[in-house]
Structure 1
Amino acid sequence: MPGMSSAVVDFLVVLLQGQVHLVVKPHTIQRSNRRISFAGLWVQQQDNPTGAAAEEMAEDETNLIRGEQPPALDDPHEGPSRNEDDVEYENPQSCGKAFCDPSTRAHRLIVLVFLCFLAFGSYYCFDNPGALQTQIENTMVITTSEFSSLYSWYSWPNTVLCFLGGFLIDRVFGIRMGAIIFSTIIIVGQVLFALGALVNRFWLMQFGRFIFGVGGESLAVAQNTYSVCWFKDKELNTVFGLQLSISRLGSMANFMTMPFLFTSFSKLYSGTTGLGVTLLVAAFWCILSMLCAVVLAVLDRRAARILKREAAQTGEVVRLQDVRNFPRTFWMLCFVCVSYYVTIFPFIGLGTVFFQRKFRFGAVEANLVDSIPYLISAFASPVFGILVDLVGRNLLWVTVAVVGTLVSHSLLAFTFINPWVAMVYMGLNYSLLACAFWPLVAMVVPERQLGTAYGMMQSVQNLGLALISMVSGMIVDSSGYFMLEVFFLAWLCCALIACLLLLMVNAKQGGVLNRDRTKKD
């Protein structure tokens, strides 16, 4: 801290020379060639003060004794007086200036760290069941169908909350309190999920997952709102990419650590207690997310006061009457969304046992290969995002991703080729589709209706995930994993047919969904 060290040295020098005039003035760290302010203490160096200067010093000291505020020191470098709330660090060499000024990039980097970890806990705990499928089924003595309901109960509330999340943030809670409330709901849901295992009550575990779902998607809305408020233009694209990467690393960390935690606690606690303690420890990451929400609320409130800006809002306006005006292409995109994503998340949720049974993997390796799509997307999504931005042709990329995922599931269903190949390829295609698909909504729906359009699509997606998760569990119980893969392949064929129809319809309507980069506005 060179600026701080220099100030201390200068202070000691003038103090030892006996040529100091001390005036208490709680301003910032500032240093000029004649004056030093350190730790709220003004130090004015005088060259043998005599006459009027000496009288002025004596008057200031008298005022200090009386408790009166001394007059401002005349200095050409000092600007107008500042409110104590608007603290600024004027010394370019001061160690805290850049990090404490909310208008600087350095300060926004601090915000970005907390922003990326705001949803880390929810992503880590979302796939807790998938990482512990065998352990949960054996410990709680449940069927695969009952196990799959843990994912369904997460999705059910979000068939409605996708519409209400933005409204609650904008009109009821505000972004700061909303993020804290939703992160707290996630903690409550995870704790109830763990308590259900501790007391051997599966219905309580299901209820905990329902509560967890209430907070999970709404917290993601709050995270996106903070991002739009703090970052603009090109920064925003990078921020969204980093958020997705950190979130997916949370999912990956879950698959890598939860089996180890269960094994460790099972040595200390018997029966369902070991499972409950394991899930309770996972709640630590939800607490971390809540602490990030608190820090972000403090930083955002301070920035709003200093920069004189309004509190962040989602900007989404949901009008259900707009739904009837959506074009056919939008509903076809909704169908592609559902028919594709139901082959990804339900499969990952049930995949650990599949890899153990068909490929004879151990629990650790099965969890690792099952989480590969998350790891791939953490690093590939930003790259594919740049690729799609440069090339365009969004609908074509979506079609390519659907075909690639179809190939991946075919390899898993009909061959014994090392599943790492199929899962890495699935992760690449999953990342590509995510980058190319979601911007398509803005190409077919007017800007004023985007809030409703995205809410409707996410609602339909969660409805599909809730239903297909339940059906997937029933298929495994009745017919095994091979028929589950055939079921997923059927959905991917439907998605491919919808993409081909979209390509034809889009060609007749001017090709807006498949323009190359040179034709974009």
Structure 2
Amino acid sequence: MTRDQLGHMTLLSSCFPESVHKSRVHSTMDDIEDLQSVSGEEDNDEAALVGGEAPGRALPAICDPGHLLHRLVVLVFMCFLGFGSYFCYDNPAALQLQVTQDMKLNTAQFMQLYAWYSWPNVVLCFLGGFLIDRVFGIRLGTIIFSLFVCVGQVIFAVGALVNRFWVMEIGRFVFGIGGESLAVAQNTYAVNWFKGKELNLVFGLQLSMARLGSTVNMNIMGWVYTKVSDIVGSTGYTTLGASLMLAGTTCLFSLLCALVLGFLDKRAERILQKDQGNTGEVIKLTDVKDFPLPLWLLFIICVGYYVAIFPFIGLGQVFFIEKFNFTPAEARAVNSIVYIISAPASPLLGFMVDKIGRNIVWVITAVITTLCAHMMLAFTFWNPWIAMSLLGVSYSLLACALWPMVAFVVPEHQLGTAYGFMQSIQNLGLALIAMAAGAILDSRGYLVLEVFFCSCICVALIAVVVLYFVNHHRRGDLNLSAAARAKLLKESTPDAE
């Protein structure tokens, strides 16, 4: 779920605002001053009337874009903006048995549904921010990407209704075009409306809501399928299509949030006389040749780690049914524990890493813990809740410690390219490994598949150990304590700043 890493990536914008995102958002006091100046000038009477107040009169707190109460209302819509996308992304995982049986698919074909989501994002990771900044603007861009998500889910459901798997694949491709770019738009809105300590909290809340969407999907879609089959009177591709169409209502809800956010942002722009927010990302592919060795090692860690997480969750339901004799409901519950833990753990672990530092040590800890979890699932019959809980904690910890390190190894003007390239090869790896995992499972079974995932984690472990020694040899700052990093940042910051 590559999309939720955008949330982790932008968490450091609150800690390194000048090196990650050049936000145009005003502080609360500046907003109030702007609002007062607007309400005091006759030329801007129309702007004051937008808030429903007469010229020269103060706006109510809930209608005042510069007031915390109004921004909390905006935050609610901001958090739900990506709910539908995250809910529907793992529809195949939540209905793995039903999809494979009703559409008569093998595992390799089933995993194509995840591969087709990732393929467009090999390119769109570079283009999403550009389209928001230079072409559509944040408001129109968010609505367009939300429409792509809605249309993609509808095509996906229609493909099941008419029993045409290739139509379902097209739907996932269209869905992928909107999914990743919508996450970029969501983060841009956050930077535009919040800053400082608020921004850190906002990104944590957005990430928690995203994980909530994935968790609800995992635990409710099986029940939805059962209820639809009771109404239809039988199971089959018609029931599957109807269930996926019902899941698409969450995308419509997110589209409604995009429309409301567009209205509120346009209104705030008129009242506060501010510009639209930008992603702040500058993409120059020529910068790739200048990337240092530590950054390439971060890329290897990223791909090696995440390809052992998301494809496994996509195939997890049947794994827990066949190996541990779980019921489908129990299998869906244990398969969703990674997302359940990630929701509250991500902001807490992010805060911990910020306060302690030592990013490489945390990444090593997360990778080793993940390897132990996969080995437990592969070679033991211990209760899988233990391994999946470890997986959930380590998954959250790695994202909090890994993604901010990119800002430590590349200059500011290369950050957009570095993050775009990192997400691009991550999506490429996920697409390829999704197809490979399906083929391995069809031909060799779950044990070999788990060994394959363990080998991917070992690649990530080797890369992070090499990174540790390279950083130590070059006296880099990737593994500094928080206090040492703050001191270094203070020494390198001009007195004028």
Which TM-score band applies after superposition, normalised by the shorter structure?
Answer: 0.7 to 0.9
1:57-94 deviations in Å (ceiling 9; x for gaps): xxxxxxxxxxxxxxxxxxxxx96656033146899xx9
Q: Which residue of 2 aligns with 1:446?
A: 411
Q: Which residue of 2 aligns with 1:86?
A: 48
Q: Which of 127, 137, 145 matches 1:182?
A: 145
Say whether the 8 Å CA contact 1:89–1:97 is kept in structure 2: no
Structure 2 counterpart of 1:192, which letter? I
Closer, same or farther in 2 for the Cα pair 1:89/1:403, shift >3 Å?
A: same
Q: Which residue of 2 aligns with 1:304?
A: 269
Q: Which of 365, 372, 378 matches 1:407?
A: 372
In the alignment, does 2:121 pair up with 1:158? yes
Q: Distance in 2 between matches of 1:304 and 1:135?
A: 48
Secondary structure, aligned partner of 2:145? helix
Q: Distance in 2 between matches of 1:118 and 1:446?
A: 31
State the TM-score, normalizing by the size of structure 1: 0.83
| TM alignment of 1:114-193, pairs within 5 A | 114-193=77-156
Q: Which residue of 1 aligns with 2:240?
A: 275
1:276-332 deviations in Å (ceiling 9; x for gaps): 000000000000110110001000001011111011111111001111111011111
Q: Distance in 2 between matches of 1:480 and 1:313?
A: 47
Structure 2 counterpart of 1:259, which letter? G
Say whether the 8 Å CA contact 1:163–1:455 is kept in structure 2: yes
Structure 1 counterpart of 2:400, which letter? C
Structure 1 counterpart of 2:358, which letter? R
Q: Which residue of 1 aligns with 2:13?
A: none
Q: Which residue of 1 aligns with 2:476?
A: 511
State the TM-score, normalizing by the size of structure 2: 0.87
Give the share of equivalent positions with the same residue, in percent.
59
Structure 1 counterpart of 2:126, which letter? F
CA-CA distance at 1:95 after TM superposition = 12
Say whether the 8 Å CA contact 2:53–2:59 is kept in structure 1: no
Q: Which residue of 1 aligns with 2:213?
A: 250
Closer, same or farther in 2 for the Cα pair 1:472/1:104, shift >3 Å?
A: same
Q: Which of 289, 299, 305 matches 1:340?
A: 305
Q: Which residue of 2 aligns with 1:30?
A: none
Over alpha carbons, which structure has the higher Rg? 1
Closer, same or farther in 2 for the Cα pair 1:104/1:365, shift >3 Å?
A: same
Secondary structure, aligned partner of 2:483? helix
Say whether the 8 Å CA contact 1:402–1:495 is kept in structure 2: yes
Decide which structure has greater helix share: 2
In the alignment, does 2:448 pair up with 1:483? yes
In structure 1, list runs of 5 or more residues that go unmatched.
1-77
Q: Which residue of 2 aligns with 1:317?
A: 282
In the alignment, does 2:160 pair up with 1:210? no
Q: Which residue of 2 aligns with 1:434?
A: 399
- The two structures, once aligned, show a CA RMSD in angstroms of 1.5
CA-CA distance at 1:343 after TM superposition = 0.5
Structure 2 counterpart of 1:193, which letter? F
CA-CA distance at 1:471 after TM superposition = 0.3
CA-CA distance at 1:511 after TM superposition = 3.1
CA-CA distance at 1:268 after TM superposition = 2.4
Say whether the 8 Å CA contact 1:268–1:274 is kept in structure 2: no
Q: Distance in 1 between matches of 2:59 and 2:385?
A: 48
CA-CA distance at 1:205 after TM superposition = 0.4
Structure 1 counterpart of 2:301, which letter? V
Q: Distance in 2 between matches of 1:125 and 1:222?
A: 18
Structure 2 counterpart of 1:84, which letter? E
Say whether the 8 Å CA contact 2:111–2:434 is kept in structure 1: yes
Structure 1 counterpart of 2:389, which letter? V
Structure 1 counterpart of 2:396, which letter? S
Say whether the 8 Å CA contact 2:359–2:478 is kept in structure 1: yes
Say whether the 8 Å CA contact 1:166–1:314 is kept in structure 2: yes
Secondary structure, aligned partner of 1:85? helix
Q: Distance in 1 between matches of 2:251 and 2:40?
A: 46
Closer, same or farther in 2 for the Cα pair 1:79/1:323, shift >3 Å?
A: closer
1:324-362 deviations in Å (ceiling 9; x for gaps): 111011111000000000010000000000000000000
Structure 1 counterpart of 2:166, which letter? W
